[in-house]
Structure 1
């Protein structure tokens, strides 16, 4: 039986070339603390700055604008808390959307309990926030807009550049969670008109536990969450995760090198998945935008199906998939993203997310398409509904 992995939005396997780079900084003489003033420390510092340069180059940024974090969640929290607290005297209004990752949505909600005014914008049936809705929501107290670049559950790509242009015109800081888009589609901080942007290594074949936050020069932002040493130019305290940073740098380098070619390959596989599922299975709905979606992302809702049973049966057939964000897989509630899109709860419970990666082939897609129909038919025949 094959083992087919279709959950690359949950995490990706570490690329062998990335693992080799990490291993170099787990062994031998490459163990120094970059804050130490001796040979071992200097060597570690040099490696960190080389990785920082790779991340900055990929984002169209300067290396001084990159702060390494423990991952996307910390970077989102640093961005939002830092921007909100620093600009509190100017205003206390934050705008976000109803389909954000919980690292953003729950952070904004937490600030709403601490004296901040929050606006959570609705989305259309594709999970897209309206540029006009953002524009209309801005008040003279608005200091931060935080909108994701691409949705992790349905793959829709937001009009981030247009939102960023409006934010800049109105003098409002703009933060983008680009954890899902970075490495798959072009992500340039200048094209996107953003002041803050978040990425994570384990979505692009790097290690878990490492990410980065872009902070544009001149942005009114200060560190408010972690207090300690002077690491990362006083923006993120704590001894640097050297192997993780090296791994992130290498993963970014590799992703940038083959993004266009790999994106086209994955898009073809994605389109075959979409046409195969919608053309062969009855009572199924494609979720997310039909065109403006990540090249590796296909997502559906099946009538009269419970996602957990579907995923279990697929796993028994050697197929690893998901029903949405891995961060909410333990929840008994239907996806907040699907509900915000107007999908009724009974249908949202039957969601399936398929996300492709470097290791997937045409044979993988055809095996899935040959498998999903019988799995759905079996589950429906046993369903009381």
Structure 2
């Protein structure tokens, strides 16, 4: 017997009808951000590993989680672990007019232990706005993320907000935090101690309880912001207030990547357990384009994990699978030619239609019609073929079946569906 294969650990197949939820989610995302002038960008799934190393050598993504490999030309490449770096590389390469406002849909790859809503191949939607340092652009990006969640039916959201300040603010704070952690090194979790001196912000981002009990007392970057950073953050907060988007300040929110400056944020879904309730977040990254070899270009964006959003949707009863994608099912027991031709005629007229194959019996075809979720079955037998008619049978309503003349079927079906 041939070997039986399964999807690799940390990956999964998404099949109908569940895949219909993905379609609905992506359509809602494209609609919300498209109204704000964001266009779709597609970039390679793999890049030169240097693109992703700019995420920060202190991040778990770079040190432990990237899928990297050498190709047949001995080029050192990596599968995309997140969405932003590739978009910024594309910005540098193509030099589009600014502000450049784009959205993406992408698989991301991280070698980590699979958990609820997090896979080794997971999927993100996100937007990036590059070329403007205006804090009102931060407000726009956060508001679009908020409105997207509302559009897919998430109601119990909370927004955590913080500021990383200017690059100089961040460097000064990192040095101060490293000194403070050095004095408390024995109190933090052993797994976090290696980061305390060189990558202290990673300690602040730790989810380990012992470490978090210590870092809640750590000095806060937000208390030492420069005037420039404080003004930027104040404008963001007032903008969110004006749009009615509730938020709270979380000084420990530094996000998982080293390129952030100024505003950082994260949305959580109240319907999920606290440990795994993040459904997306983002921030401003004013130095990333330059670090990837481009001209200085401030940017801001967010990424949101599809799998985690769908978990939250499940908990709230939102985005339920659509089992009625097919409106009409054609049942032909008179040879199949008439059913074949009618099915295509309906589709070309904008009616979602399907049919059975392999010359099955009426009973077998009706079972398939019922499973399809269609509202109507169009029956073609020898009698209908001789009379040039089609019998319309309701599958979801208690209504009598009717006969339509063959030339009038499409228009008649449209009237019934409407």
Sort the TM-score into its range (normalised by shorter chain). under 0.3
Rg larger for: 2
TM-score scaled by structure 2? 0.24
TM-score when normalising by structure 1: 0.25
Q: Quick one: higher RCO (CA 8 Å, sep 6+), 1 or 2?
A: 1
Q: Which has the higher strand share?
A: 2
